[in-house]
């Protein structure tokens, strides 16, 4: 082999320009057991039935899972009354979002999303050398018309999060219908419904009904939030048959592990845990929003298991300083400057004692001179 001292491996163009996804912090300096309210996880844990199923899978660690995840596929299909062959299972929604980008995007194509869109969409698109177009979100809410304005002949995917992360806001069924109707038929509307189970507003939809008869809608769901199985990484997509078939061609064959598949099946059957999780959010979301509003903070109305809170710009009272103050009090919340929201914090709803501690700590923070 001739030596080529000037040649070295180079990632393809654009990769090194990608800002990596920043997960919520999990530690607080000097605090032994902080409360993590930065990851939008299920504060109640997970279904006891799921845990039992996970432990029960310990005897199968030497074998590969069923690559089609047939049992889980059928359980999801039955529960949501959708066709099992139109489902794609993934190692979390995260993997599915990457697979969707890889399936559709060529260099020079573009995706359209909201200004505060969940970071994973853009990362996956940039990895495909596609352009990321972000429409302004007045009042922290996706605006259908502003999204449609950015769509052109190179647009392949439009991403909507419903309810959205990190804002917590949601779009109505009528708005999603209008968005879908405004898109050319070759553009895929991806509706990420990670937090959908927490939104009980009658005008809301997770998009499954819209997707049923459409040839260009994909809806994604996750077991990480309502079901509390974030550690196991299980997500799914409901897609038109030809799209599910295309995505499946590049899906890693054994992408959902046996313990994850079995726990997810059990979680889906545990309607008691699901109801308890939703009731917890419905009890504490209005309470925390009201309490923080009472302290003079702006809280964006949320349909998810977290709230977005705006802090004053006054030195000493800012979001960044509140984040540090709360961490010192053992409460880890999420700074969202990387989403273009330096004046806000995103706070996952905690247990009663966490929520009360949070209000007390913020009252102290805001009162301090």
Q: Which stretch binds ligand PLP (CB under 6 A): 92-100, 243-251, 260-268, 285-293?
A: 92-100
Q: Which stretch binds ligand PLP (CB under 6 A): 68-76, 222-230, 326-334, 352-360?
A: 222-230
3-state helix, strand, coil in the chain (%, to 5): 45, 20, 40
Report if residue 161 touches ligand PLP, rule: CB under 6 A. Answer: yes
249 close to 219: Cβ distance less than 8 angstroms: no
x/- site string to ligand PLP, residues 117 to 136, per CB under 6 A? -x------------------
Which two tokens mark 12? 């393809």
For residue 113, the minimal CB distance to ligand PLP (Å) is 11
For residue 161, the minimal CB distance to ligand PLP (Å) is 4
For residue 54, the minimal CB distance to ligand PLP (Å) is 16
Q: How many residues sit close enough to ligand PLP to count as binding (CB under 6 A)?
A: 13
| Contacting ligand PLP within 314-353 (CB under 6 A) | none
Angle subtended by helix axes 319-328 and 352-367, to nearest 10: 120
Residue 134 or 224 with smaller CB distance to ligand PLP: 224
Report if residue 42 touches ligand PLP, rule: CB under 6 A. Answer: no
295 close to 366: Cβ distance less than 8 angstroms: yes
Pick from 42, 101, 134, 222: which binds ligand PLP (CB under 6 A)?
A: 222
Element holding 93 (H helix, E strand): helix 92-104
d(CA 103, CA 116): 24
Q: Which stretch binds ligand PLP (CB under 6 A): 79-87, 88-96, 181-189, 268-276?
A: 88-96
Phi, psi of 159 (to 5 degrees): -105, 130
Residue where the block lists tokens 């599915």: 96
Report if residue 92 touches ligand PLP, rule: CB under 6 A. Answer: yes
Report if residue 300 touches ligand PLP, rule: CB under 6 A. Answer: no
Element holding 63 (H helix, E strand): none
Smallest CA-to-CA distance from 79 within 269, 231, 239 is with 269
For residue 98, the minimal CB distance to ligand PLP (Å) is 10
Residue 224 or 289 with smaller CB distance to ligand PLP: 224
For residue 328, the minimal CB distance to ligand PLP (Å) is 25
Report if residue 110 touches ligand PLP, rule: CB under 6 A. Answer: no
Using CA atoms, how far residue 244 sits from 158, 187, 217, 236, in Å, is 17, 15, 11, 11
**What residues have CB less than 8 Å from 330, skipping those under 6 apart?**
28, 31, 33, 34, 35, 357
Angle subtended by helix axes 48-56 and 271-294, to nearest 10: 130
Residue 190 or 358 with smaller CB distance to ligand PLP: 190
Pick from 35, 158, 183, 194: which binds ligand PLP (CB under 6 A)?
A: 194
Report if residue 165 touches ligand PLP, rule: CB under 6 A. Answer: yes
Nearest residue to the partner ligand PLP, using Cβ: 92
For residue 152, the minimal CB distance to ligand PLP (Å) is 25
x/- site string to ligand PLP, residues 224 to 263, per CB under 6 A? x-----x----x----------------------------
Residue where the block lists tokens 């000097």: 30
d(CA 173, CA 195): 15
Pick from 93, 103, 291, 300: which binds ligand PLP (CB under 6 A)?
A: 93
* Residue 34: other Cβ atoms inside 10 A: 20
Residue where the block lists tokens 């922290």: 140
Please report, as ranges, the residues that interact with ligand PLP according to CB under 6 A. 40, 92-94, 118, 161, 165, 192, 194, 222, 224, 230, 235
């Amino acid at each position: 082999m001739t030596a080529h001292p000037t040649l070295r491996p180079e990632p393809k163009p654009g990769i090194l320009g990608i800002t990596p996804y920043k997960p919520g912090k999990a530690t607080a300096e000097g605090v032994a057991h902080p409360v993590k309210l930065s990851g939008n996880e299920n504060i109640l844990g997970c279904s006891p039935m799921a845990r039992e199923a996970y432990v029960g899978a310990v005897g199968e660690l030497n074998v590969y899972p069923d690559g089609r995840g047939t049992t889980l596929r059928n359980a999801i299909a039955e529960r949501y009354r959708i066709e099992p062959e139109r489902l794609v299972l993934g190692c979390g929604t995260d993997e599915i979002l990457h697979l969707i980008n890889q399936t559709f995007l060529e260099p020079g194509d573009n995706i359209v999303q909201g200004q505060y869109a969940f970071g994973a969409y853009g990362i996956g698109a940039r990895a495909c050398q596609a352009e990321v177009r972000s429409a302004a979100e007045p009042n922290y809410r996706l605006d259908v018309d502003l999204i449609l304005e950015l769509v052109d002949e190179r647009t392949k995917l439009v991403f909507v999060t419903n309810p959205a992360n990190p804002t917590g806001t949601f779009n109505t069924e009528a708005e999603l219908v209008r968005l879908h109707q405004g898109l050319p038929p070759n553009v895929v509307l991806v509706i990420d419904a990670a937090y959908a189970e927490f939104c009980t507003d009658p005008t809301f939809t997770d998009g499954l009904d819209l997707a049923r008869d459409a040839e260009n809608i994909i809806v994604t769901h996750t077991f990480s939030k309502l079901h509390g199985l974030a550690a196991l990484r299980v997500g799914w997509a409901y897609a038109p048959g030809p799209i599910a078939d295309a995505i499946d061609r590049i899906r890693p064959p054994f992408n959902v592990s046996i313990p994850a598949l079995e726990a997810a099946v059990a979680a889906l059957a545990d309607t008691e845990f699901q109801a308890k999780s939703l009731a917890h959010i419905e009890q504490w979301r209005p309470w925390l929003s009201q309490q923080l509003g009472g302290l003079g903070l702006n809280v964006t109305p949320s349909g998810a298991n977290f709230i977005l809170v705006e802090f004053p710009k006054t030195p000493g009272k800012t979001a960044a300083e509140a984040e540090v103050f709360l961490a010192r009090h053992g409460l880890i919340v999420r700074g969202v400057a990387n989403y273009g929201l330096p004046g806000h914090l995103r706070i996952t709803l905690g247990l009663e004692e966490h929520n009360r501690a949070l209000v007390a700590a913020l009252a102290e923070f805001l009162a301090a001179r």
